[in-house]
């Protein structure tokens, strides 16, 4: 049973989640820990406060007393990987400024794990095995996930080979379908393609089924390796998992090159500057660890609050957190 997400000032002391939902959250975490134990993946705990912050221009960190609340436990977990080359996972509360909405809260729960010796395709199988166990435990029918390629999807919607798609082509698709296209996108082709995917691909996913998207363009590699696909396109070795139109997880075949990682951090800082965003310090501890050597591995972060929306049928993140938003 889900409680109403809208409250007056009088009753904001009450939890947003029902007792039934809180019990299901506990059951979900038990299921995750059972799976990880069977797979010999070690649970770890890393600091929520760091001297560094995310340089990603699309992610905004909270400053706290001269440090930053982590937006993900990724960087310290990679430092553990560099030190011990051991499969690890963590269930952490993370913090992102400006994230408010039906599927967003400034503080949320994230499951993040890393498997040594796996690439992103092998990790997708691992994610699928965990997801199947979870949804079946919650008495939801499991259907084999579909996998689609980002490059194919953009090409199909625009009716152009992927490497010929321009912002003008994407604008034309929106115009033809009488959809709003924000002028603020400007000349950001990646932002335009992502909006195209959201509007014309992800929105059409079956509501009660998982789907993987793979083969993102190399320009969206973030922390993933880059390779060349069967069509000769440079792609990022990463994937995203959706349940219906809801994004649940983001996974990578992790970049191990410290020099390339530094270059990407610098490029992100330059993008932040061009957008008049505040500058953030890059994680020198991570870069030092990568110089020591990150084992070949793949990692993924899965949003547990969004997963609870799927598992409970609730329609707002306030209903799957004890105290979200104004209740916190």
The answer to whether 324 touches 99, Cβ cutoff 8 Å, is no
Distance CA 74, CA 310 (A): 25
pLDDT tens digits for range 234-249: 999 999 999 999 999 9
Residue 202 lies inside a defined structural domain of this protein:
no
- For residue 12, the model assigns a pLDDT of 86
- For residue 76, the model assigns a pLDDT of 98
Domain hosting residue 267, numbered range: 9-145+209-327
Residue 284 lies inside a defined structural domain of this protein:
yes
Residue 16 lies inside a defined structural domain of this protein:
yes
Cβ within 8 Å of residue 185, ≥6 positions away? 167, 191, 192, 195
- Residue 282, SS3 per DSSP: coil
- For residue 6, the model assigns a pLDDT of 52
Between the alpha carbon of residue 328 and those of residues 15, 29, 172, 279, 324, the distances in Å are 9, 22, 44, 28, 5
- DSSP notation for 44-72: ----SEES-----TT--PPEETTEEE-S-
Residue 204 lies inside a defined structural domain of this protein:
no
- For residue 8, the model assigns a pLDDT of 53
Distance CA 142, CA 131 (A): 9
Greatest pairwise CA separation for the chain in angstroms: 60
Q: Mean pLDDT by 10-residue block, N- to C-terminus, for the chain (328 residues)?
A: 62 93 98 98 97 92 93 98 98 90 91 98 98 97 96 97 96 96 94 97 95 97 95 96 97 97 94 90 96 98 97 94 90
Residue 123 lies inside a defined structural domain of this protein:
yes
112, 258, 275, 252: which is closest to 191 by C-alpha? 275
CATH number for the domain spanning 302: value is: 3.30.930.10
**Residues in the chain, how many?**
328
- Give the number of domains in the chain: 1
The answer to whether 72 touches 107, Cβ cutoff 8 Å, is no
Residue 162 lies inside a defined structural domain of this protein:
no
Q: Where do runs of H (alpha helix) occur along 159-257?
A: 167-176, 189-200
Residue 178 lies inside a defined structural domain of this protein:
no
- For residue 101, the model assigns a pLDDT of 75
Residue 323 lies inside a defined structural domain of this protein:
yes
pLDDT tens digits for range 178-192: 999 999 999 999 999
- Residue 234, SS3 per DSSP: strand
- For residue 116, the model assigns a pLDDT of 98
Distance CA 299, CA 115 (A): 6
């Amino acid at each position: 049973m889900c409680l109403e997400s809208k409250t007056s000032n009088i009753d904001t002391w009450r939890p947003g989640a029902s007792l039934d939902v809180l019990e299901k959250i506990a059951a979900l975490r038990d299921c995750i820990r059972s799976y990880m134990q069977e797979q010999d993946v070690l649970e770890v705990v890393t600091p929520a406060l760091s001297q560094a912050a995310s340089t990603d221009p699309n992610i905004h960190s909270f400053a706290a007393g001269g440090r930053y609340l982590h937006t993900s436990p990724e960087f310290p977990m990679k430092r553990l990987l560099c030190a011990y080359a051991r499969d690890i996972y963590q269930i952490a509360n993370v913090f992102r400024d400006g994230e408010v909405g039906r599927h967003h809260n400034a503080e949320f729960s994230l499951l993040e794990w890393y498997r040594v010796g796996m690439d992103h395709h092998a990790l997708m199988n691992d994610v699928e095995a965990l997801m199947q166990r979870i949804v079946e435990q919650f008495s939801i029918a499991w259907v084999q996930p579909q996998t689609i390629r980002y490059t194919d999807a953009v090409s199909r919607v625009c009716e152009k080979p992927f490497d010929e798609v321009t912002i003008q082509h994407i604008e034309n698709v929106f115009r033809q379908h009488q959809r709003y296209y924000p002028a603020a996108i400007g000349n950001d082709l990646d932002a335009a393609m992502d909006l195209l995917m959201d509007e014309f691909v992800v929105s059409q996913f079956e509501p009660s089924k998982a789907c993987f998207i793979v083969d993102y363009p190399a320009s969206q590699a973030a922390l993933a390796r880059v390779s060349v696909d069967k069509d000769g396109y440079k792609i990022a070795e990463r994937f995203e998992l959706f349940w219906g139109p809801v994004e649940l997880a983001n996974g990578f075949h992790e970049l191990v090159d410290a020099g390339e990682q530094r270059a990407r951090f610098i490029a992100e800082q330059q993008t932040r500057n061009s957008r008049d965003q505040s500058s953030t310090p890059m994680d020198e501890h991570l870069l030092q660890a990568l110089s020591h050597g990150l084992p070949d591995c793949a990692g993924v972060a899965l949003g547990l609050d969004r997963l609870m929306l799927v598992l409970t049928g609730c329609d707002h993140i306030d209903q799957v957190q004890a105290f979200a938003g104004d209740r916190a």
